[in-house]
Chains A and B, each alone.
Chain A
Amino acid sequence: MLDINTKQLKKNAFRITKERGKTAVRIRVPGGNMHVKFFSVIQEIAEKYGNGTVHITTRQGFEIPGIDMKNMPDINKMLQPIIDGLEINQEAPGCGYPASGTRNISACVGNAYCPYGNYNTGELAKKIEKAVFPHDRHVKIAVTGCPNDCIKARMQDFGIIGMTEPQYDPYRCVGCQACVKNCKKRATGALKFENFKVVRDHSKCIGCGECVIKCPTGAWTRSEEKYYKLVIMGRTGKKNPRIAQDFIKWADEESVIKIILNTYEYIEEYIDKEAYQGKEHIGYIVDRTGYQEFKKWALKDVNLGPKAEVAQTINW
């Protein structure tokens, strides 16, 4: 006889499946990078309790299907080394994941080894995870190293895109125009060649850093500060799917994290209390209250740096 609280089960990062009595457990891997030693745990669970397979999720976690619901307590115990190893915030050891609403923070490989990466995406993903998890509110966050957006940050509620502010040393510039041509072809055409030197139009520059990569003499270098573009309220799904739009350009890391935390307070204030199963995605709340109200809450006590540019309005 199974008597299962499905709300609890879902909160615990298990899921209801097609097959009665069977569940699947989701393992979160913030930043999408982990030591391979944890594979043996996944393997053991899948072989002993599951159907011998594992699904690699779109959010860069693992989901082990075919588990008998009655074995959930055992699974939670077995998961403990992964939860500890990946430093996931937990309420009680041995009880598995304390929430599932706020999804795994996914990340592209970033500057760990991608030449285009403007920062360490894995580290930021872990920092955000530490700040926001556990939380029941359904929020999707992803971080990506540069505007190539390999992680598809623009499909998230919050997408964080790495930027650098290129620094130009006219003395080192030989006028080959590699940066100018490349910016035009592959980025935004923010560079112009004038009087044998390069002029950057900051309003057009997306901070991808490609000019730094292309310059053969090191005339372009990266800014000491790292900057981020925060794009918001992208979504997939049935109702009105859409791409996330630019909220803040040239933001700093601390502000980005604070804004995300503020958003949880905004959700508590405005979430539709009648919503199906108490779940309403943040994007739909912003649709209801309007961008200005969201902005007011999001920016509460946030000290954006002098370079930051906040969108006046957003039309998704």
Chain B
Amino acid sequence: MGFRMDVERFDELLTELQKNYRIYAPVLLKGKGRYSETDTIRYAEINSIKDVVFDKKSVFSPKEVILPITQTLFYFTEDNVIEPKVDEKNILIFLRSCDIHAVKRLDEIYLRNRFADSYYAALRTKVKFVLMECEKSFENCFCVSMGSNRTDEYDLFVRLEDGKVYVESKNETFDGLFKDEENAEVSPKFVLENETVVKIPENLDQRVFKSKMWDEYDERCIACGRCNFVCGTCACFTMQDIFYKDNPNAGERRRVWASCMVDGFTDMAGGHSFRKKYGERMRFKVMHKVYDFNKRFGYHMCVGCGRCDDICPEYISFANAVNKLNDAMKEVE
């Protein structure tokens, strides 16, 4: 079902939705970029469709809405454990096709991997997707290579064009909300090609560990972890038990995002241990994204959003590292 309405009308409906939903979208944070007088785009709650940044890629992925950076799992005292109250409201997330595919990967890891993670599940079950369209591929995207450029797994699709909002609803939950709006043909366009093309070798396997290709990253990578933190599919976390200063018998257990590239994250979920050389860490990351995950679940972890390439301060291209695997396999075969 497709609808067409003014921005003002859409915002009224958004306000209506806010009674039951927290609505997250990529927004512009003025002056909050890394460098002086630079802005950044991150996920935050919105109150108007005008807050949504449609024409640029967000620096961080939407995963932080479902997988908070810092999450208190429970509070403890000497003889009591209390779980924090879960927000009653449901969640709507504005996100792109690749990001919807990325959430599927998180689901795989957190919900279908032996047993479901209840903290993840608690938030995840509340989530509905609002698809954002990519008019054209952004820099460093390789979603087409990874097959994440299209999706039909969304509840709403929203396009803002010339002061009008076009909505496609695929979820009957929203039928009532839009019933009085003007009908229109609305369906999303998807990106069909990217400048960056990635080819994963068919015969890829662990022999590639022995390749010389990893050595250059020993020198180039600074192990900052930015590539992990912006990635919508990196799912590792670390546990922190905090004992309060004024009452060391009480405290809380938190989990926070972790990174396989950063020093000292030894106890990550998944149990992979600390790799000393940066090239080895790079190898682990690349292989996890385009080999190990696939072996286990039958499709690749990386969705080709290109955020890792956007952010790397040392201009290391993950996409190019994947492409280098082709020569590396020839080298070790």
Q: Is the CB of A178 within 8 A of B224?
A: yes
On whether A221 and B32 interact (CB within 8 A), knowing A176-B225, A216-B224, the answer reads yes
Tell me how far the C-beta of A114 lies from the nearest C-beta in chain B, rounded to whole angstroms. Answer: 9
A151 to B34, alpha carbons, bound, how many Å? 23
The reply to whether B254 and A217 form a contact with Cβ atoms under 8 Å apart is: no
Q: Is B34 a contact of A213 with CB atoms below 8 Å?
A: yes
Whether A174 lies near B258 (C-beta < 8 A) is yes
Q: Known contacts A174-B256, A195-B245, A218-B32; decide if A120 and B37 are in contact (CB<8 Å).
A: yes
Contact among A174, A196, A212, A224 with B259 in the assembled complex (CB-CB below 8 Å):
A174
- Contact between A118 and B36, CB atoms less than 8 A apart: yes
Q: Are B240 and A196 in contact (CB under 8 A)?
A: yes
B61 to chain A, nearest CB (A): 12
Across-interface contacts of A196 in B (CB, < 8 A): 240, 242, 254, 256
Assess whether A119 is interfacial by the CB under 8 Å rule: yes
Given contacts A173-B70, A175-B240, contact A218 B262 (CB under 8 A): no
Determine whether A276 belongs to the interface, using a CB cutoff of 8 Å to chain B: no
**Which residues in A have their C-beta under 8 angstroms from that of B70?**
170-174
Within 211-238 of B, Cβ neighbours of A (below 8 Å) are at 224-226, 229, 238
B contacts with A, residue count (CB < 8 A): 30
Please encode chain B, from 256 to 270, with 1 for each CB lying within 8 Å of some chain A CB and 0 for all others.
Answer: 111100111000000
Contact A117 to B69, CB < 8 A, known contacts A216-B229, A218-B42: no
A104 at the interface (CB under 8 A from B): no
Interface residues of A (CB under 8 A from B): 111, 115, 117-120, 145, 162, 164, 170-178, 195-196, 209, 212-214, 216-218, 221-222, 224
B residues apposed to A, CB below 8 Å? 31-32, 34-37, 40, 42, 59-60, 68-70, 224-226, 229, 238, 240, 242-243, 245, 254, 256-259, 262-264
Instruction: Give 10 nearest A-B pairs by CB, closest first.
Output: A111-B36, A216-B226, A196-B240, A221-B32, A174-B256, A216-B225, A174-B257, A176-B262, A171-B70, A217-B229
| 17 residue pairs bridging A and B, Cβ less than 8 Å apart | A162-B36, A164-B36, A171-B69, A171-B70, A172-B69, A172-B70, A173-B70, A174-B256, A174-B258, A175-B240, A175-B256, A176-B262, A176-B263, A212-B34, A216-B229, A218-B59, A221-B31
